[in-house]
Chains A and B, each alone.
Chain A
Amino acid sequence: DAGVTQSPTHLIKTRGQQVTLRCSPKSGHDTVSWYQQALGQGPQFIFQYYEEEERQRGNFPDRFSGHQFPNYSSELNVNALLLGDSALYLCASSLSHENQPQHFGDGTRLSIL
């Protein structure tokens, strides 16, 4: 049973560019959440998708947007990249109930030059 898979594993971009990160949830899960983890920090919640809609959002600017597809997979898009966007981006999937634990992928390491 495959867990949460993310692609790519590493990515290098320059300031001002745009990036798309992808996530496939664990089999049977219908909810996808995205987190940003800066070096030496705990993950910060970006947003959560359920039924192809953004259900909740953290304190991130509109440059961060997402999408969920009918097969529950998800994308995170970041526009106008800044140096401060360099981080590990984690995707987590779960069942829709708020008490269900989230299962995390290994993340995408994004470096901005």
Chain B
Amino acid sequence: AQSVTQLDSHVSVSEGTPVLLRCNYSSSYSPSLFWYVQHPNKGLQLLLKYTSAATLVKGINGFEAEFKKSETSFHLTKPSAHMSDAAEYFCVVVDGGGTYKYIFGTGTRLKVLA
């Protein structure tokens, strides 16, 4: 069965420093993977998606993620954090093989320090 593990529940960085949010997945098929961001009392906004094309995926707001099949990882990075990046981030896996439901990780809360 597919699953996703976000390795850190909380991450704190200083403004202007790099961001790394870690995600590992388990999938029976070639997966589709997504990162979403959720600001307080809001819905989820798509940051980026991997669907078996290029392994390095660029998203919005300077975020990118690299799909590593050998490590079953899909970590999210950003070179320089901004105060507005403070939010909850969710890694999502969708199996191939006709499964349509999203499986969410438990989320990583990113705190950006001035």
Contacts and interface: CB of A to CB of B under 8 A. Distances in A.
Interface of A: 4, 31, 33, 35, 41-45, 48, 55-56, 58, 90, 92, 98-99, 101-107, 109
Contacts of B96: 98
Contacts of B44: 43, 90, 92, 104
Question: Which secondary structure characterizes the binding site on chain B?
Answer: loop
A14 to B, nearest CB: 23
Interface of B: 32, 34, 36, 41-46, 49, 51, 90, 94, 96, 98-107
Contacts, number: 58
A42 B46 contact: no
B100 A44 contact: no
Contact of B99 (A31, A56, A90, A101): A56
Contacts of B36: 104
Given A41-B106, A42-B105, A105 B43 contact: yes
Nearest to A55: B100
B99 A44 contact: no
Contacts of B49: 101
In the A-B complex, list the 7 residue pairs whose CB atoms are closest, starting with the nearest: A42-B104, A104-B43, A45-B101, A104-B44, A106-B43, A99-B51, A99-B32
Contact of A42 (B34, B42, B90, B100): B90
Given A56-B99, A98-B32, A98-B94, A103 B104 contact: no
A47 B6 CA distance: 23
A44 B94 CA distance: 13
Contact of B98 (A90, A98, A104): A98
Contacts of A103: 46
Given A42-B106, A99-B32, A99-B51, A58 B101 contact: yes
